[in-house]
Structure 1
């Protein structure tokens, strides 16, 4: 398992300048957004998503799946490592955003703060989980080339979907059930909210992983 994660790191190491570059771009383009927690989350998700696509693209291009399945490595571990790599890429994305924020804060540019709130971390995990947990079963089924089209649609929906949903609710009138849920969540403290969303992430991850395992076990190489 460790060697598989190291493999991913070697694959993306020549692209490690990209996360930092993206971080500065995100801060510049999002300078008018008042809530920095949102900026950190958006940047982290974009970076983690980009690194995930580089890694899976490399595997597909070089038929890494064929090589891995010729080695004494269980398919369970092959699928599991790809899911774990999602959080590795998320950590790299978050670290890049923090570093870029530190540089901009030190230079007194864009009025950036390096204070990182738990909301930024949870927001990043939710965003990248929605994208990756939808993408990976499709990737294991069809490979990178076909899955990237589906992945692009999911990526857009993650960022545009909440705004689109809000407009629908505003146009159609308020939903009493949704209002109660929002009121309930707002009444909870940050720790309980974090546990709530972490539970959702774990649940979605288990469902996605199970689907990927069923698909991957049926594949022939």
Structure 2
């Protein structure tokens, strides 16, 4: 499994260089204006770029045909893709963190909102996004599912931002709901949300595995 993830990283050297420029751009445009939501969108965008970039290169080079001809179980191939989600997400989070440190050290006049809430939101976002996109990729391949995954991505970005704005301005919270959020830390709420997301991720994995085992190349 480690070698499969390493392979995906090595074939994307150009994409990783581009991702650094994108992180600098997102830091200036998103993190300095949108707070934690900006970090969440930035990490999701970088993860989207690298996860789907690897799938695109594999589709273009017919790598799946080569992989299934090797003594590698399809379970390992699918599982490595799901693990790579968090490899890329951690890479993006560390990248934004290092840029934030550089801005502080150089006293650049940018108010960057790198915080735990943004990191937790990013993990939730990439988990849910990839849980929806991977079954499509394993069933149809990257090229055939490209448009659907692009739509899912923009729904996450614009729909998520719109939902947060609506809930913060239009939704009337009950006293019980306000008390619940006040009495639970951000980490506690994160763990509560991650429990159903873990089930969604596991279901997505087995669905992807089922599609991939039945797929004809």
Provide the TM-score with structure 1 as the length reference.
0.86
Q: Residues 74 and 212 of structure 2 are in contact (CA less than 8 Å); yes or no, is this contact kept in structure 1?
A: yes
Change (3 A) 1:183 1:164: farther
* Residue pairs, 1:14-25, within 5 angstroms: 14-25=14-25
Across the aligned residues of Structure 1 and Structure 2, the Cα RMSD in angstroms comes to: 2.6
Stretch of structure 1 that moved more, 187-196 or 123-132: 187-196
SS of 1:109's equivalent in the other structure is: coil
Unaligned runs of 5+ residues in structure 1 are none
In 2 relative to 1, CA 86–173 (structure 1 residues): closer, same or farther, beyond 3 Å?
closer
Number of the residue aligned with 1:220: 216
Q: Secondary structure of the equivalent of 2:12?
A: helix
Unaligned runs of 5+ in 2: none
Map 1:64-103 to 2 at 5 A. Answer: 64-103=63-102
Give the TM-score of the pair, scaled to structure 2: 0.88
Deviation at 1:166, TM superposition (A): 5.9
Query: How many residues align structurally?
Result: 217
Deviation at 1:172, TM superposition (A): 8.8
Cα separation, 2, equivalents of 1:141 and 1:12: 23
1:1-221 pair list within 5 angstroms: 1-30=1-30, 33=33, 35=35, 37-113=36-112, 116-165=114-163, 174=172, 184-221=180-217
Aligned CA distance change for structure 1 residues 33 and 209 (closer, same or farther; 3 Å): same
Note if contact 2:40-2:122 (Cα within 8 Å) is conserved in structure 1. Answer: yes
**Would the aligned equivalents of 2:85 and 2:130 in 1 still touch at CA under 8 Å?**
yes
Provide the C-alpha distance between the structure 1 equivalents of 2:208 and 2:114, rounded to a whole number of angstroms. 33
